[in-house]
Protein backbone atom coordinates (compact mmCIF):
# COMPACT_ATOMS: atom_id res chain seq x y z
CA UNK A 1 0.00 0.00 0.00
CA UNK A 2 2.86 2.37 0.83
CA UNK A 3 4.32 1.59 -2.58
CA UNK A 4 1.09 2.66 -4.21
CA UNK A 5 0.99 5.93 -2.26
CA UNK A 6 4.62 6.60 -3.13
CA UNK A 7 3.98 5.89 -6.79
CA UNK A 8 1.23 8.51 -6.76
CA UNK A 9 3.33 11.01 -4.81
CA UNK A 10 1.14 10.78 -1.72
CA UNK A 11 2.38 10.88 1.86
CA UNK A 12 0.93 10.08 5.27
CA UNK A 13 -0.38 13.67 5.50
CA UNK A 14 -1.22 15.50 2.27
CA UNK A 15 -1.97 19.15 1.60
CA UNK A 16 -5.60 19.47 0.54
CA UNK A 17 -5.46 22.91 -1.09
CA UNK A 18 -4.02 23.24 -4.57
CA UNK A 19 -3.70 26.13 -6.99
CA UNK A 20 -2.46 24.33 -10.07
CA UNK A 21 0.70 22.51 -9.11
CA UNK A 22 1.24 24.54 -5.96
CA UNK A 23 -0.01 23.10 -2.68
CA UNK A 24 -0.65 24.91 0.57
CA UNK A 25 -1.40 23.57 4.00
CA UNK A 26 -2.84 25.64 6.81
CA UNK A 27 -1.76 23.64 9.86
CA UNK A 28 -4.58 25.17 11.93
CA UNK A 29 -7.09 23.29 9.75
CA UNK A 30 -8.03 19.73 10.70
CA UNK A 31 -7.19 16.50 8.91
CA UNK A 32 -9.50 14.25 6.94
CA UNK A 33 -8.60 10.63 7.54
CA UNK A 34 -8.99 8.46 4.49
CA UNK A 35 -10.40 5.15 5.69
CA UNK A 36 -9.98 1.89 3.82
CA UNK A 37 -13.54 0.46 3.71
CA UNK A 38 -12.14 -3.07 3.37
CA UNK A 39 -10.32 -2.96 6.71
CA UNK A 40 -11.52 0.13 8.57
CA UNK A 41 -7.89 1.31 8.79
CA UNK A 42 -6.61 4.80 8.03
CA UNK A 43 -4.74 4.88 4.69
CA UNK A 44 -3.44 8.46 4.96
CA UNK A 45 -4.78 11.95 5.71
CA UNK A 46 -5.61 15.10 3.78
CA UNK A 47 -5.53 18.60 5.28
CA UNK A 48 -8.76 20.60 5.17
CA UNK A 49 -8.81 23.95 3.38
CA UNK A 50 -9.11 26.91 5.78
CA UNK A 51 -11.33 29.90 5.01
CA UNK A 52 -8.27 32.08 4.37
CA UNK A 53 -6.93 29.51 1.91
CA UNK A 54 -10.32 29.33 0.22
CA UNK A 55 -10.21 33.08 -0.41
CA UNK A 56 -6.71 32.72 -1.84
CA UNK A 57 -7.84 29.90 -4.12
CA UNK A 58 -10.73 31.99 -5.48
CA UNK A 59 -8.50 35.03 -6.04
CA UNK A 60 -5.85 32.94 -7.81
CA UNK A 61 -8.51 31.18 -9.87
CA UNK A 62 -10.03 34.49 -10.97
CA UNK A 63 -6.62 35.76 -12.06
CA UNK A 64 -6.02 32.49 -13.93
CA UNK A 65 -9.37 32.75 -15.69
CA UNK A 66 -8.40 36.09 -17.20
CA UNK A 67 -5.44 34.33 -18.85
CA UNK A 68 -6.88 30.85 -19.53
CA UNK A 69 -9.98 32.22 -21.26
CA UNK A 70 -7.74 34.12 -23.72
CA UNK A 71 -5.96 30.97 -24.85
CA UNK A 72 -7.45 29.55 -28.07
CA UNK A 73 -9.78 26.64 -27.41
CA UNK A 74 -7.74 24.10 -29.47
CA UNK A 75 -4.65 25.04 -27.41
CA UNK A 76 -6.66 24.42 -24.26
CA UNK A 77 -7.63 21.13 -25.88
CA UNK A 78 -3.97 20.30 -26.24
CA UNK A 79 -3.53 20.79 -22.48
CA UNK A 80 -6.35 18.32 -21.90
CA UNK A 81 -4.60 15.90 -24.30
CA UNK A 82 -1.55 16.02 -21.99
CA UNK A 83 -3.82 15.27 -19.04
CA UNK A 84 -5.27 12.26 -20.88
CA UNK A 85 -1.74 11.01 -21.61
CA UNK A 86 -0.70 11.41 -17.96
CA UNK A 87 -3.80 9.50 -16.87
CA UNK A 88 -2.88 6.70 -19.29
CA UNK A 89 0.51 6.44 -17.56
CA UNK A 90 -1.11 6.31 -14.11
CA UNK A 91 -4.14 4.22 -15.07
CA UNK A 92 -3.33 1.17 -12.98
CA UNK A 93 -2.00 3.04 -9.94
CA UNK A 94 -4.84 5.55 -9.81
CA UNK A 95 -7.35 2.75 -10.43
CA UNK A 96 -5.86 0.85 -7.48
CA UNK A 97 -6.17 3.93 -5.28
CA UNK A 98 -9.85 4.24 -6.24
CA UNK A 99 -10.29 0.61 -5.19
CA UNK A 100 -8.38 1.12 -1.96
CA UNK A 101 -10.25 4.23 -0.86
CA UNK A 102 -13.71 3.59 -2.33
CA UNK A 103 -13.91 -0.22 -2.18
CA UNK A 104 -15.09 -0.80 -5.77
CA UNK A 105 -13.41 -3.80 -7.41
CA UNK A 106 -10.15 -3.45 -9.29
CA UNK A 107 -11.69 -3.68 -12.73
CA UNK A 108 -14.19 -0.93 -11.89
CA UNK A 109 -11.44 1.23 -10.33
CA UNK A 110 -9.35 1.01 -13.49
CA UNK A 111 -12.54 1.43 -15.55
CA UNK A 112 -13.15 4.72 -13.81
CA UNK A 113 -9.72 6.00 -14.83
CA UNK A 114 -10.45 4.77 -18.36
CA UNK A 115 -13.61 6.89 -18.23
CA UNK A 116 -11.40 9.91 -17.39
CA UNK A 117 -9.15 9.14 -20.36
CA UNK A 118 -12.17 8.76 -22.63
CA UNK A 119 -13.62 12.13 -21.65
CA UNK A 120 -10.20 13.76 -22.01
CA UNK A 121 -9.97 12.41 -25.58
CA UNK A 122 -13.52 13.56 -26.26
CA UNK A 123 -12.74 17.04 -24.90
CA UNK A 124 -9.67 17.38 -27.15
CA UNK A 125 -11.86 16.94 -30.22
CA UNK A 126 -14.63 19.09 -28.79
CA UNK A 127 -12.17 21.95 -28.34
CA UNK A 128 -12.29 22.43 -32.12
CA UNK A 129 -16.06 22.09 -32.28
CA UNK A 130 -17.53 24.77 -30.02
CA UNK A 131 -19.95 25.57 -32.79
CA UNK A 132 -22.48 28.38 -32.81
CA UNK A 133 -25.34 28.72 -35.29
CA UNK A 134 -25.59 31.38 -37.92
CA UNK A 135 -29.04 32.52 -38.97
CA UNK A 136 -30.54 34.70 -41.65
CA UNK A 137 -31.58 38.10 -40.42
CA UNK A 138 -34.99 39.46 -41.40
CA UNK A 139 -33.26 42.77 -42.15
CA UNK A 140 -31.23 43.41 -45.32
CA UNK A 141 -27.45 43.61 -45.03
CA UNK A 142 -27.50 42.16 -41.53
CA UNK A 143 -25.74 39.05 -40.31
CA UNK A 144 -26.72 37.09 -37.21
CA UNK A 145 -24.91 34.42 -35.33
CA UNK A 146 -24.49 32.88 -31.91
CA UNK A 147 -21.13 32.47 -30.26
CA UNK A 148 -20.13 30.72 -27.07
CA UNK A 149 -17.91 32.22 -24.39
CA UNK A 150 -16.52 30.70 -21.19
CA UNK A 151 -18.39 31.26 -17.94
CA UNK A 152 -15.56 31.86 -15.47
CA UNK A 153 -15.00 29.78 -12.34
CA UNK A 154 -16.69 26.39 -12.41
CA UNK A 155 -17.10 24.61 -9.07
CA UNK A 156 -17.47 20.85 -8.99
CA UNK A 157 -18.60 18.91 -5.94
CA UNK A 158 -18.27 15.17 -6.43
CA UNK A 159 -19.50 12.15 -4.50
CA UNK A 160 -17.50 9.23 -3.10
CA UNK A 161 -18.95 6.68 -5.52
CA UNK A 162 -17.17 8.01 -8.62
CA UNK A 163 -14.28 9.77 -6.93
CA UNK A 164 -12.32 10.57 -10.10
CA UNK A 165 -14.43 10.09 -13.27
CA UNK A 166 -17.15 12.62 -12.49
CA UNK A 167 -14.50 15.29 -11.83
CA UNK A 168 -13.04 14.51 -15.27
CA UNK A 169 -16.42 14.79 -17.01
CA UNK A 170 -16.76 18.29 -15.64
CA UNK A 171 -13.18 19.50 -15.58
CA UNK A 172 -12.07 18.35 -19.05
CA UNK A 173 -15.09 19.86 -20.77
CA UNK A 174 -15.13 23.01 -18.63
CA UNK A 175 -11.41 23.54 -19.30
CA UNK A 176 -11.61 23.35 -23.09
CA UNK A 177 -14.54 25.77 -22.86
CA UNK A 178 -12.15 28.26 -21.22
CA UNK A 179 -13.18 27.94 -17.59
CA UNK A 180 -11.08 27.47 -14.49
CA UNK A 181 -12.08 24.54 -12.28
CA UNK A 182 -12.30 24.37 -8.53
CA UNK A 183 -12.99 20.90 -7.18
CA UNK A 184 -14.30 19.85 -3.82
CA UNK A 185 -14.22 16.05 -3.65
CA UNK A 186 -16.13 13.94 -1.15
CA UNK A 187 -14.24 13.79 2.18
CA UNK A 188 -14.71 10.01 1.95
CA UNK A 189 -12.40 9.90 -1.06
CA UNK A 190 -10.13 12.88 -0.41
CA UNK A 191 -6.94 11.01 -1.31
CA UNK A 192 -8.23 10.32 -4.82
CA UNK A 193 -8.77 14.07 -5.21
CA UNK A 194 -5.19 14.88 -4.23
CA UNK A 195 -3.79 12.13 -6.48
CA UNK A 196 -5.73 13.40 -9.51
CA UNK A 197 -4.77 16.99 -8.79
CA UNK A 198 -1.09 16.01 -8.69
CA UNK A 199 -1.17 13.97 -11.90
CA UNK A 200 -3.07 16.60 -13.86
CA UNK A 201 -1.07 19.61 -12.76
CA UNK A 202 2.30 17.86 -13.04
CA UNK A 203 1.41 17.10 -16.67
CA UNK A 204 0.86 20.81 -17.32
CA UNK A 205 3.67 22.14 -15.14
CA UNK A 206 6.17 22.95 -17.89
CA UNK A 207 3.70 24.07 -20.50
CA UNK A 208 3.69 27.75 -19.59
CA UNK A 209 -0.06 27.76 -19.14
CA UNK A 210 -2.12 29.54 -16.48
CA UNK A 211 -3.46 27.28 -13.73
CA UNK A 212 -6.80 25.78 -14.66
CA UNK A 213 -7.29 23.13 -11.97
CA UNK A 214 -7.73 23.94 -8.30
CA UNK A 215 -8.63 21.75 -5.33
CA UNK A 216 -10.21 22.42 -1.95
CA UNK A 217 -11.08 19.95 0.79
CA UNK A 218 -13.57 20.15 3.61
CA UNK A 219 -15.09 17.49 5.81
CA UNK A 220 -17.60 19.81 7.44
CA UNK A 221 -20.32 21.52 5.44
CA UNK A 222 -18.97 24.98 6.15
CA UNK A 223 -16.67 25.46 3.19
CA UNK A 224 -19.06 23.60 0.90
CA UNK A 225 -21.80 26.06 1.81
CA UNK A 226 -19.52 29.05 1.20
CA UNK A 227 -18.66 27.52 -2.16
CA UNK A 228 -22.32 26.97 -3.10
CA UNK A 229 -23.27 30.51 -2.05
CA UNK A 230 -20.25 32.19 -3.64
CA UNK A 231 -21.36 34.41 -6.56
CA UNK A 232 -17.86 34.14 -8.05
CA UNK A 233 -18.62 30.48 -8.84
CA UNK A 234 -20.57 30.94 -12.04
CA UNK A 235 -21.53 27.29 -12.46
CA UNK A 236 -21.79 24.80 -9.63
CA UNK A 237 -21.85 21.18 -10.75
CA UNK A 238 -23.05 18.94 -7.96
CA UNK A 239 -23.28 15.15 -7.79
CA UNK A 240 -25.00 13.63 -4.77
CA UNK A 241 -28.34 12.85 -3.21
CA UNK A 242 -31.66 14.39 -4.25
CA UNK A 243 -32.04 15.88 -0.75
CA UNK A 244 -28.71 17.74 -0.76
CA UNK A 245 -29.06 18.57 -4.46
CA UNK A 246 -32.37 20.28 -3.79
CA UNK A 247 -30.64 22.57 -1.25
CA UNK A 248 -27.73 23.23 -3.61
CA UNK A 249 -30.10 23.99 -6.48
CA UNK A 250 -32.18 26.38 -4.39
CA UNK A 251 -29.18 28.22 -2.96
CA UNK A 252 -27.42 28.65 -6.28
CA UNK A 253 -30.69 29.80 -7.88
CA UNK A 254 -31.12 32.37 -5.09
CA UNK A 255 -27.90 34.04 -6.23
CA UNK A 256 -28.84 33.64 -9.91
CA UNK A 257 -25.94 31.27 -10.47
CA UNK A 258 -26.02 28.26 -12.73
CA UNK A 259 -26.27 24.77 -11.46
CA UNK A 260 -25.71 21.35 -12.97
CA UNK A 261 -27.27 18.64 -10.85
CA UNK A 262 -26.64 14.91 -11.13
CA UNK A 263 -28.67 13.43 -8.29
CA UNK A 264 -30.28 10.18 -7.25
CA UNK A 265 -31.77 7.43 -9.37
CA UNK A 266 -34.36 4.72 -8.79
CA UNK A 267 -33.57 2.82 -11.94
CA UNK A 268 -35.65 -0.08 -13.21
CA UNK A 269 -35.12 -2.85 -15.72
CA UNK A 270 -38.21 -4.23 -17.43
CA UNK A 271 -38.02 -7.93 -18.33
CA UNK A 272 -40.90 -8.74 -20.66
CA UNK A 273 -42.23 -12.05 -21.95
CA UNK A 274 -39.81 -11.93 -24.91
CA UNK A 275 -36.62 -11.14 -22.95
CA UNK A 276 -33.43 -13.09 -23.54
CA UNK A 277 -32.41 -14.03 -20.00
CA UNK A 278 -28.85 -14.82 -21.08
CA UNK A 279 -28.54 -11.07 -21.48
CA UNK A 280 -30.96 -9.90 -18.81
CA UNK A 281 -29.65 -11.84 -15.80
CA UNK A 282 -25.97 -10.77 -16.03
CA UNK A 283 -27.07 -7.20 -16.78
CA UNK A 284 -29.31 -7.12 -13.71
CA UNK A 285 -26.59 -8.60 -11.51
CA UNK A 286 -23.94 -6.14 -12.69
CA UNK A 287 -26.44 -3.30 -12.43
CA UNK A 288 -27.47 -4.10 -8.88
CA UNK A 289 -24.20 -5.40 -7.37
CA UNK A 290 -21.58 -3.42 -9.33
CA UNK A 291 -19.87 -0.81 -7.13
CA UNK A 292 -21.76 -2.59 -4.30
CA UNK A 293 -25.00 -0.94 -5.43
CA UNK A 294 -23.54 2.54 -4.94
CA UNK A 295 -23.90 4.00 -8.43
CA UNK A 296 -26.53 6.59 -9.19
CA UNK A 297 -27.29 4.30 -12.15
CA UNK A 298 -27.55 1.14 -10.02
CA UNK A 299 -30.46 -1.15 -10.91
CA UNK A 300 -32.82 -0.89 -7.95
CA UNK A 301 -36.01 -2.41 -9.36
CA UNK A 302 -36.70 -5.26 -11.78
CA UNK A 303 -40.18 -5.23 -13.27
CA UNK A 304 -40.87 -8.77 -14.51
CA UNK A 305 -43.72 -10.04 -16.67
CA UNK A 306 -45.71 -12.36 -14.40
CA UNK A 307 -45.28 -15.28 -16.85
CA UNK A 308 -41.52 -15.19 -16.23
CA UNK A 309 -41.41 -14.05 -12.62
CA UNK A 310 -40.42 -17.39 -11.03
CA UNK A 311 -37.81 -18.06 -13.73
CA UNK A 312 -36.14 -14.65 -13.32
CA UNK A 313 -36.34 -14.74 -9.54
CA UNK A 314 -34.71 -18.19 -9.37
CA UNK A 315 -32.00 -17.27 -11.86
CA UNK A 316 -31.16 -14.12 -9.88
CA UNK A 317 -30.97 -15.95 -6.56
CA UNK A 318 -28.67 -18.52 -8.18
CA UNK A 319 -26.48 -15.76 -9.64
CA UNK A 320 -26.33 -13.86 -6.33
CA UNK A 321 -25.13 -17.07 -4.68
CA UNK A 322 -22.08 -16.99 -6.95
CA UNK A 323 -20.99 -13.43 -6.19
CA UNK A 324 -17.56 -13.49 -4.62
CA UNK A 325 -17.50 -10.83 -1.90
CA UNK A 326 -14.21 -9.74 -0.38
CA UNK A 327 -11.06 -7.70 -0.84
CA UNK A 328 -11.74 -5.52 -3.90
CA UNK A 329 -8.04 -5.56 -4.80
CA UNK A 330 -8.22 -9.34 -5.34
CA UNK A 331 -8.96 -9.85 -9.04
CA UNK A 332 -11.44 -12.69 -8.32
CA UNK A 333 -13.68 -10.47 -6.18
CA UNK A 334 -16.95 -9.28 -7.73
CA UNK A 335 -18.23 -7.16 -4.85
CA UNK A 336 -16.25 -5.19 -2.30
CA UNK A 337 -17.31 -3.35 0.85
CA UNK A 338 -19.70 -0.43 1.13
CA UNK A 339 -18.17 2.96 1.76
CA UNK A 340 -18.85 3.18 5.51
CA UNK A 341 -20.60 1.41 8.41
CA UNK A 342 -23.64 3.72 8.14
CA UNK A 343 -24.23 2.48 4.58
CA UNK A 344 -24.31 -1.13 5.82
CA UNK A 345 -26.85 -0.15 8.46
CA UNK A 346 -29.00 1.53 5.81
CA UNK A 347 -29.17 -1.67 3.75
CA UNK A 348 -30.14 -3.61 6.87
CA UNK A 349 -32.79 -1.00 7.67
CA UNK A 350 -34.14 -1.31 4.11
CA UNK A 351 -34.43 -5.11 4.57
CA UNK A 352 -36.34 -4.48 7.81
CA UNK A 353 -38.63 -2.01 6.04
CA UNK A 354 -39.40 -4.64 3.35
CA UNK A 355 -40.36 -7.14 6.04
CA UNK A 356 -42.43 -4.54 7.89
CA UNK A 357 -44.33 -3.85 4.65
CA UNK A 358 -45.17 -7.55 4.36
CA UNK A 359 -42.49 -8.33 1.78
CA UNK A 360 -39.87 -11.01 1.74
CA UNK A 361 -36.08 -10.83 1.57
CA UNK A 362 -35.34 -13.87 -0.58
CA UNK A 363 -31.57 -13.66 -0.22
CA UNK A 364 -28.79 -11.55 1.27
CA UNK A 365 -28.81 -8.58 3.61
CA UNK A 366 -26.41 -10.22 6.05
CA UNK A 367 -23.25 -8.64 7.43
CA UNK A 368 -20.05 -10.58 6.88
CA UNK A 369 -18.19 -11.57 10.01
CA UNK A 370 -14.96 -9.74 9.15
CA UNK A 371 -13.61 -6.20 9.48
CA UNK A 372 -14.75 -3.68 6.88
CA UNK A 373 -18.19 -2.68 5.63
CA UNK A 374 -19.34 -5.93 4.07
CA UNK A 375 -22.90 -7.12 3.54
CA UNK A 376 -24.32 -9.75 1.21
CA UNK A 377 -26.41 -8.23 -1.62
CA UNK A 378 -30.13 -8.56 -0.98
CA UNK A 379 -33.11 -9.35 -3.20
CA UNK A 380 -36.65 -8.62 -2.09
CA UNK A 381 -40.05 -9.35 -3.59
CA UNK A 382 -41.82 -6.04 -3.23
CA UNK A 383 -44.50 -3.65 -4.43
CA UNK A 384 -43.64 -0.54 -6.39
CA UNK A 385 -45.59 1.86 -4.19
CA UNK A 386 -43.97 0.92 -0.89
CA UNK A 387 -42.05 3.83 0.67
CA UNK A 388 -38.85 1.81 0.84
CA UNK A 389 -39.08 0.96 -2.88
CA UNK A 390 -39.78 4.58 -3.72
CA UNK A 391 -36.62 5.79 -1.99
CA UNK A 392 -33.03 5.23 -3.06
CA UNK A 393 -31.09 3.08 -0.58
CA UNK A 394 -27.51 3.58 -1.72
CA UNK A 395 -26.44 -0.04 -1.48
CA UNK A 396 -27.06 -3.53 -2.86
CA UNK A 397 -30.77 -4.16 -2.37
CA UNK A 398 -32.86 -5.10 -5.39
CA UNK A 399 -36.66 -5.15 -5.60
CA UNK A 400 -38.48 -7.65 -7.83
CA UNK A 401 -41.94 -6.54 -8.93
CA UNK A 402 -44.31 -8.49 -11.24
CA UNK A 403 -46.38 -6.85 -14.00
CA UNK A 404 -49.19 -7.85 -16.35
CA UNK A 405 -48.93 -5.55 -19.36
CA UNK A 406 -46.10 -3.47 -20.79
CA UNK A 407 -48.14 -0.31 -20.19
CA UNK A 408 -48.36 -1.24 -16.48
CA UNK A 409 -44.60 -1.85 -16.40
CA UNK A 410 -43.83 1.52 -18.01
CA UNK A 411 -46.23 3.27 -15.66
CA UNK A 412 -44.50 1.67 -12.65
CA UNK A 413 -41.06 2.38 -14.04
CA UNK A 414 -42.03 6.06 -14.25
CA UNK A 415 -43.91 6.19 -10.94
CA UNK A 416 -40.94 7.32 -8.86
CA UNK A 417 -39.65 10.85 -8.20
CA UNK A 418 -36.26 10.15 -9.78
CA UNK A 419 -35.64 9.89 -13.53
CA UNK A 420 -32.07 8.84 -14.26
CA UNK A 421 -31.73 5.48 -15.99
CA UNK A 422 -33.98 2.73 -17.29
CA UNK A 423 -33.85 -0.34 -19.49
CA UNK A 424 -35.97 -2.98 -21.15
CA UNK A 425 -34.95 -6.52 -22.05
CA UNK A 426 -37.00 -7.73 -24.97
CA UNK A 427 -36.52 -9.36 -28.34
CA UNK A 428 -39.74 -7.74 -29.58
CA UNK A 429 -39.23 -4.58 -31.60
CA UNK A 430 -42.69 -3.21 -30.83
CA UNK A 431 -42.08 -3.39 -27.07
CA UNK A 432 -38.64 -1.79 -27.34
CA UNK A 433 -39.99 1.08 -29.42
CA UNK A 434 -43.01 1.53 -27.14
CA UNK A 435 -40.56 1.83 -24.20
CA UNK A 436 -38.46 4.41 -26.09
CA UNK A 437 -41.43 6.45 -27.34
CA UNK A 438 -42.46 9.83 -25.93
CA UNK A 439 -44.92 8.14 -23.58
CA UNK A 440 -42.42 5.43 -22.64
CA UNK A 441 -39.56 5.80 -20.18
CA UNK A 442 -39.34 9.29 -18.66
CA UNK A 443 -35.65 8.93 -17.77
CA UNK A 444 -32.54 10.66 -19.09
CA UNK A 445 -31.19 7.25 -20.10
CA UNK A 446 -33.32 4.51 -21.70
CA UNK A 447 -31.58 1.33 -22.88
CA UNK A 448 -32.63 -1.78 -24.76
CA UNK A 449 -30.97 -5.11 -23.92
CA UNK A 450 -28.35 -3.23 -21.87
CA UNK A 451 -28.50 -2.59 -18.13
CA UNK A 452 -29.07 0.73 -16.39
CA UNK A 453 -25.45 1.42 -15.37
CA UNK A 454 -22.15 1.67 -17.19
CA UNK A 455 -22.95 4.47 -19.63
CA UNK A 456 -20.33 5.55 -22.17
CA UNK A 457 -19.06 9.13 -22.04
CA UNK A 458 -20.07 9.93 -25.63
CA UNK A 459 -23.73 10.46 -24.74
CA UNK A 460 -24.98 13.22 -22.45
CA UNK A 461 -25.35 11.79 -18.94
CA UNK A 462 -28.04 12.83 -16.47
CA UNK A 463 -31.68 12.52 -15.61
CA UNK A 464 -35.07 14.14 -15.25
CA UNK A 465 -37.38 15.02 -12.36
CA UNK A 466 -35.64 14.90 -8.96
CA UNK A 467 -32.46 13.60 -10.60
CA UNK A 468 -31.96 17.28 -11.32
CA UNK A 469 -32.07 17.72 -15.10
CA UNK A 470 -28.32 18.26 -15.60
CA UNK A 471 -26.31 16.72 -18.42
CA UNK A 472 -22.60 15.98 -18.24
CA UNK A 473 -19.92 14.33 -20.39
CA UNK A 474 -20.62 13.90 -24.10
CA UNK A 475 -22.94 15.03 -26.89
CA UNK A 476 -23.62 18.77 -26.48
CA UNK A 477 -23.24 18.83 -22.67
CA UNK A 478 -20.39 21.34 -23.22
CA UNK A 479 -23.00 24.07 -23.66
CA UNK A 480 -23.70 24.02 -19.91
CA UNK A 481 -20.16 25.32 -19.34
CA UNK A 482 -20.44 28.31 -21.66
CA UNK A 483 -22.56 31.41 -22.09
CA UNK A 484 -24.26 32.04 -25.39
CA UNK A 485 -24.09 35.41 -27.08
CA UNK A 486 -26.34 36.36 -29.99
CA UNK A 487 -24.75 38.88 -32.28
CA UNK A 488 -26.35 40.91 -35.06
CA UNK A 489 -24.08 42.87 -37.37
CA UNK A 490 -25.41 45.60 -39.63
CA UNK A 491 -23.11 46.02 -42.61
CA UNK A 492 -25.47 48.33 -44.51
CA UNK A 493 -25.95 52.07 -44.49
CA UNK A 494 -29.52 52.09 -43.09
CA UNK A 495 -30.87 51.25 -39.67
CA UNK A 496 -33.98 49.10 -40.27
CA UNK A 497 -35.69 47.90 -37.10
CA UNK A 498 -36.82 44.35 -36.44
CA UNK A 499 -40.49 43.46 -36.74
CA UNK A 500 -40.81 46.31 -39.26
CA UNK A 501 -41.10 48.90 -36.48
CA UNK A 502 -41.09 52.43 -37.78
CA UNK A 503 -39.33 55.02 -35.62
CA UNK A 504 -38.40 58.01 -37.74
CA UNK A 505 -37.18 61.22 -36.09
C1 LIG B 1 -22.59 7.93 -10.87
O2 LIG B 1 -22.95 6.90 -10.29
O3 LIG B 1 -22.62 9.05 -10.27
O4 LIG B 1 -23.11 5.03 -16.06
C5 LIG B 1 -22.04 7.96 -12.24
C6 LIG B 1 -22.41 4.69 -15.08
C7 LIG B 1 -21.08 5.37 -14.89
C8 LIG B 1 -21.26 6.67 -14.18
C9 LIG B 1 -22.06 6.63 -12.93
N10 LIG B 1 -20.48 5.58 -16.19
O11 LIG B 1 -22.76 3.82 -14.30
How many other C-beta atoms lie within 10 A of the C-beta of residue 53?
A: 22
d(CA 13, CA 31): 8
Report, as ranges of residue numbers, the positions in the chain whose pLDDT lies below 70: 1
- 172 catalytic, yes or no? no
Closest alpha carbon to 237 in 482, 484, 470, 483:
470
- Name the CATH topology of 2-263+468-485: Aldehyde Dehydrogenase; Chain A, domain 1 (3.40.605)
Tell me, what's the pLDDT at 2? 85
Looking from the CA of residue 298, the nearest atom of ligand 1 is 11
Burial of 400 by CB count in 10 Å (0-12 exposed, 13-18 middle, 19+ buried)? buried
pLDDT in tens, 40-65: 999 999 999 999 999 999 999 999 99
Domain boundaries, the chain: 2-263+468-485, 267-456
CATH architecture of the domain covering 267-456: 3-Layer(aba) Sandwich (3.40)
Tell me, what's the pLDDT at 149? 98
Looking from the CA of residue 295, the nearest atom of ligand 1 is 2
- 296 catalytic, yes or no? yes
Tell me, what's the pLDDT at 1? 65
Looking from the CA of residue 455, the nearest atom of ligand 1 is 4
Closest alpha carbon to 237 in 194, 185, 192, 298:
185
CA of 249 to the centre of ligand 1 (A): 21
Residues near ligand 1 with C-beta < 6 Å? 115, 161-162, 166, 239, 295-297, 453-455
CA of 233 to the centre of ligand 1 (A): 25
Catalytic residue among 53, 108, 262, 392: 262
Mutation pick for ligand 1 pocket among 111, 455, 472 (CB with most ligand atoms within 8 Å): 455
Helix axes 51-68, 222-229, angle to 10 degrees: 40
Residue 59: in which H helix or E strand, if any? helix 51-68
pTM of the model: 0.97
Catalytic residue among 172, 296, 351, 443: 296
What residues pair up with 134 in beta bridges, in sequence order? 145
Mutation pick for ligand 1 pocket among 296, 300, 462 (CB with most ligand atoms within 8 Å): 296
Amino acid sequence: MNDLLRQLGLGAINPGTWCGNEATEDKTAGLIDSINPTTGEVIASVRNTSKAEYERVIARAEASFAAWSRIPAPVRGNAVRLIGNALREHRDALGALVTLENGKIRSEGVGEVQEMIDIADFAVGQSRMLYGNTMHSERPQHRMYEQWHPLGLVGTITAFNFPVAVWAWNACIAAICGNVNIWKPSPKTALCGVAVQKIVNAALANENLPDAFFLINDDSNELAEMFVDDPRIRLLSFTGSCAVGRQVGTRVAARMGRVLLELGGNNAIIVDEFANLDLAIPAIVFGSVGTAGQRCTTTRRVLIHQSRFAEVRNALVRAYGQIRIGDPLDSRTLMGPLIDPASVSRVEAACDAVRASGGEIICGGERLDRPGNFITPAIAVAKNDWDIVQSETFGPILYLIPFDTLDDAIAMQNAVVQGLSSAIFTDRLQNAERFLSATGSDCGIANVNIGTSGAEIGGAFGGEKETGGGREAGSDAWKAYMRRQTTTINWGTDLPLAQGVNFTL
